[in-house]
A and B are shown apart, each in its own frame.
Chain A
Amino acid sequence: MNKIAEKAVALLQEGHTLVLGYEEGDRAPRPFFCRQAEEAQHLVLDERCTANLAVYLTKPELMGKGRVAVFAITSSLRAIAQLTAENQLQLENLTILTLTAEQEIKTFATLEEIRSYLSEVPYELSDTEKALDEKLSAMTREERWKYWINEFSRCIKCYACRAACPMCYCTRCITEVNRPQWISPWPSPLPNMEWQINRVMHLVGRCIGCGACGRACPVGIPVDYLSKKMLQDLSEEFGYVPGQAMQDGNALSTFKPDDKENFIH
Chain B
Amino acid sequence: MEKRYISKEGLSRWFKALLAGGKRVYAPVRNNDKVDFKPVRSLDEVADDYVQTTQSAKSTVFPRAEVLFSYQKENGITTLNDFDPATVPETVVWKIHPCDAVGFIPLSQIFNEGYEDILYKTHLEKTTLVSFSCSHADSFCFCTSVQGGPGETTGSDIQLTSLPDGGALVEILTPKGEALVQLSAESFEAPKEDEDKAQYLADVPIYFQLDEIRNKLKDAFNSDIWKKQSERCLGCGACAFVCPTCACFDIQENPKGSQGQRIRCWDSCGFSLFTQHTSGHNPRAVQSQRWRQRILHKFSYMPDRINIFGCTGCGRCSRACPVDMNIREHLTSLVK
Contact = CB atoms under 8 A, between A and B. Distances in A.
A and B are interacting partners: yes
Interface of A: 25-28, 30-33, 51, 55-56, 61-62, 154, 156-160, 162-164, 176, 184-188, 212, 215-216, 218-220
A219 B232 contact: no
B31 interface: yes
B273 interface: yes
Given A32-B232, A187-B64, A160 B324 contact: no
A52 to B, nearest CB: 10
B236 interface: yes
Given A26-B318, A33-B231, A218-B242, A159 B55 contact: no
B7 to A, nearest CB: 35
A212 B323 CA distance: 10
Contact of B323 (A31, A157, A188, A218): A31
A220 B32 contact: yes
A215 B263 CA distance: 30
B273 A160 contact: no
B323 A51 contact: yes
Contacts of A215: 322
Interface in B317-332: 318, 320, 322-324, 326
A212 B236 CA distance: 13
A26 B139 contact: yes
B236 A159 contact: yes
Interface string B58-75: 000000110000000000
Contacts of A32: 232
**In this complex, which of A25, A26, A33, A188 has the most chain B Cβ atoms within 10 angstroms of its Cβ?**
A26
Given A33-B232, A62-B231, A220-B32, A158 B238 contact: yes
Nearest to B318: A26
B54 A218 contact: yes
Contact of B268 (A26, A31, A62, A158): A158
A125 B252 CA distance: 40
B234 A219 contact: no
B209 to A, nearest CB: 22
Pick the 6 closest A-B CB pairs, nearest first. A186-B265, A216-B322, A163-B234, A163-B236, A218-B320, A186-B65
A98 B252 CA distance: 46
B237 interface: yes
Given A160-B237, A160-B322, A185 B265 contact: yes
Contacts of A56: 232
Contacts of B234: 55, 160, 163-164, 216
A55 to B, nearest CB: 7
Nearest to B235: A163
**In this complex, which of A163, A187, A215 has the most chain B Cβ atoms within 10 angstroms of its Cβ?**
A163
Nearest to B264: A186
B33 interface: yes
Contacts of B287: 61
B226 interface: no
29 contacts: A25-B324, A25-B326, A26-B139, A27-B324, A28-B324, A33-B231, A56-B232, A62-B231, A154-B31, A156-B64, A157-B265, A157-B266, A158-B236, A158-B240, A158-B241, A158-B268, A159-B236, A159-B237, A160-B236, A160-B322, A163-B235, A185-B252, A186-B64, A186-B265, A187-B265, A188-B65, A215-B322, A216-B234, A219-B36
A17 to B, nearest CB: 13
Contacts of A186: 64-65, 250, 252, 263, 265-266
Contacts of A184: 254
A114 to B, nearest CB: 24
Nearest to B233: A163
Contacts of A157: 237, 265-266
A176 B273 contact: yes
Contacts of A162: 236
Interface in B93-151: 139-140
B236 A216 contact: yes
Interface string B38-62: 0000000000000000110000000
Nearest to B36: A219
B40 to A, nearest CB: 15
A187 B320 contact: no
Nearest to B266: A156
A164 B64 contact: no
B34 interface: yes
Given A33-B231, A218-B242, A51 B322 contact: yes
B261 to A, nearest CB: 10
B225 interface: no
B286 interface: yes
A62 to B, nearest CB: 6
A82 B282 CA distance: 30
B256 to A, nearest CB: 12
A164 B238 CA distance: 12
Nearest to A29: B324
A212 B32 CA distance: 19
Contacts of B268: 158
A162 B31 CA distance: 23
A202 B254 CA distance: 25
Nearest to B255: A181
A132 B164 CA distance: 38
A160 B270 CA distance: 11
